[in-house]
Amino acid sequence: MTVPPPAHGVDLDAAFAALGDPVRRALVARLARGDATVGELAEPFAMTQQAVSHHIGVLRRCGLVEQRREGTRRPCRLKIEHLTPLNTWIDDQRKAWDDRLTALEQHLNSEEA
């Protein structure tokens, strides 16, 4: 089986693995509200900026976050458009299971009749 190339610059396996960590999910949720520096992102956590930088690096490598230079600041930005392939995959799985469960329900109802 051949693995298709990443859609829209997002490696689905890496993105889902990255989002498996609660800290990274919290960082994504925070960045969904707007850009922030690592220092700003680290504030609510009981961890060092270095630890938060590591989590941001994971999110950057899988294509969900970008970091840019603005003088001495390095704000991070969520690439919201890169969440679309993840959402599409989840929606496809949900539809497939809904279809299977509907078919099972119809089969069970026909057995009762």
| Residue range 81-100, pLDDT digits in tens | 999 999 999 999 999 999 99
- 6 pLDDT more than 80: no
Task: Name the percent of the chain lying above pLDDT 70.
Answer: 92
Q: Which domains are seen in the chain, by residue range? A: 12-112 (1.10.10.10)
List, for residues 48-66, the tens digit of each pLDDT value.
999 999 999 999 999 999 9
The per-residue pLDDT of the chain, averaged, comes to 90
How far is Cα 28 from Cα 1, in angstroms, rounded to an integer?
32
Q: What are the residues facing 78 on neighbouring strands?
A: 65
Query: How far from chain centre, in Å, is Cα 81?
Result: 11
* Residue 113, pLDDT score: 76
| Alpha-carbon dihedral angle through residues 26, 32, 34, 36, given to the nearest 10 degrees | 30
Q: What is the Cα gyration radius of the chain?
A: 19
Q: Give the residue carrying structure tokens 């976050």.
A: 65
- 1 pLDDT more than 80: no
- Asked whether 66 and 77 are in contact (CB, 8 A), the reply is yes
List, for residues 72-82, the tens digit of each pLDDT value.
899 999 999 99
